[in-house]
Amino acid sequence: MTGRKKLFIKTYGCQMNVYDSERMGDALGARGFEQVDSPEGADMILLNTCHIREKAAEKVYSELGRYKGLKADNPGLKIGVAGCVAQAEGEEIIRRQPMVDLVVGPQAYHRLPEMLDKAGNGPVVDTDFPAEDKFTHLPRGPKAKRAPSAFLTVQEGCDKFCAFCVVPYTRGAEVSRPPARLLEEARDLLARGVVEITLLGQNVNAYQADGWSLARLIREMAKLDGLKRIRFTTSHPNDMGDDLIAAFGEEEKLMPYLHLPVQSGSDKILKAMNRKHTAEGYLELLERIRAARPDIALSGDFIVGFPGEDEADFEATLELCQEVRYAAAYSFKYSPRPGTPAAERSHVDEAVKAERLQRLQTLLGEHQFAFQQSMVGQTLPVLLERPGREAGQMVGKSPYLQAVHMDAEPELAGRIVNAKILRSERNSLAGALLKP
């Protein structure tokens, strides 16, 4: 291909998809594409999809329907579907939306340029789990300036086979990237202005490569010049080893924030989910983590109305939340995913699920509000990242992942400054910049 063509990527779902979209942009950028913010006028539209949320596939088909007019006006427009819905649906996407030119699973997107070449002869589908490491086959992007925070995928896939989850089927078995490559990529990010890196994985704390654990990777990354902050997500309670817990207390660059999903407070439901841990074991684990890092803030995930959940099971979830008091949490009604064990079971009435979800979210909201309020009057180190909505304002990030806005000069972007927290707002904190 010659000349610069316009590429529009729409990303659904988690941070791993954000990272994947960046790398797909790099792969296509090496073939003459530049990314744009709108599908209108684009030469290629790529949907990077997620299969976790309810009716994910139908939402993708609906989105594709919006592009029919663009395709009619520009027959040369290429439309691709990537990610987990692509992996799960495969050829069905082409059948239902014949205008789609290519379908690529999350483990094969390094083949995008080759697929695009073939798409001129008809639709192309690649949902294999290739033996080669996709990351080693991706071209490097230009040394462009980056935002202060960046994601870095270190682990993919899942071997846990929770009864509600499609990840093992769409992302494959757990695979960890070699530490030498990760350190090299981290250095590249730092050279481009990044000061905070979030290590990503479906079960990131299951990381094991070349004898390294996630804790060792964090400790080695903490030695890199220019790296100020390290985070990781998402973790499984069963992979929270002693070395990783110790790292929270010993590595000051590792932020005091941990996303550790439990899903339910009922042992009966946890067993039905195939979580392989108990509520008591989870709480004991949190005690050990808090002993290592007393100022740590916790977030979690909850599924309400899982098949077999009765009122006593739900009350057990509320009790667990009361004990933990999460700084933030994500809660959803159970929705079946085709091909997962739970999809074949008898489901809880939708009205019951809705009522329980409202009760849970009310409680979680109270705890999150209390945590936000506890910040008022404190001085926090804030990583300034971008301009705010008002002139002369900057927005940054606290150690606890809270958005903090304050009056500050744009030249301070990428710097960690001290801010006095003045008040708590709905989804952010208001602060005042303190002079050094």
Please say whether the beta carbons of 33 and 5 come within 8 A.
yes
Q: Residue 405: inside a domain, yes or no?
A: yes
| Mean predicted confidence (pLDDT) in 404-418 | 96
Domain count, the chain: 4
Q: What kind and span of H or E run contains 358?
A: helix 350-374
Confidence of residue 211 (pLDDT cuts 50, 70, 90): very high
Q: What is the mean pLDDT of residues 136-158?
A: 76
**If pLDDT is split at 50, 70 and 90, which confidence band does 1 have?**
very low
Structure tokens at 333: 């009604």
End-to-end Cα separation, the chain, in angstroms: 52
Per residue in 301-349, pLDDT (tens digit) is: 999 999 999 999 999 999 999 999 999 999 999 998 888 999 999 999 9
Residues 32 and 102 placed together within one structural domain of the fold:
yes
User: Does residue 391 surpass a pLDDT of 80?
Assistant: yes
**CATH number of the domain where residue 310 is located:** 3.30.750.200
Do 101 and 152 have their domain in common? no
**Is-contact 188 180, C-beta < 8 A?**
no
Tell whether 78 and 116 lie within a shared domain.
yes
Of the residues 346, 374, 402, the one at which a domain ends? 374
- Mean pLDDT is lowest, of 120-124, 187-191, 273-277, for 120-124
Domain range enclosing 398:
379-433
Residue 375: the pLDDT is 97
- Let me know if residue 334 belongs to a domain: yes
Supply the DSSP string of 392-431, one letter for each residue. TEEEEE-TTS-EEEEE--GGGTT-EEEEEEEEE-SSSEEE
Mean pLDDT, residues 199-210: 95
Mean pLDDT value across residues 106-112: 81
Q: Which of 165-174, 201-210, 215-224, 425-434 has the lowest mean pLDDT?
A: 165-174
Q: Is the peptide bond before 49 cis (omega within 30 degrees of 0)?
A: no
Check whether residue 56 and residue 76 sit in a common domain: yes
Q: Does 120 lie in the same domain as 9?
A: yes
Q: Does residue 63 sit in the same domain as residue 121?
A: yes
Percent with pLDDT over 90 in the chain: 70
Same domain, 354 and 418: no
Residue spans of beta strands (DSSP E) within 92-195: 102-104, 124-126, 149-153, 155-156, 175-176
Q: What is the pTM of this model?
A: 0.82
CATH number where 206 lies: 3.30.750.210
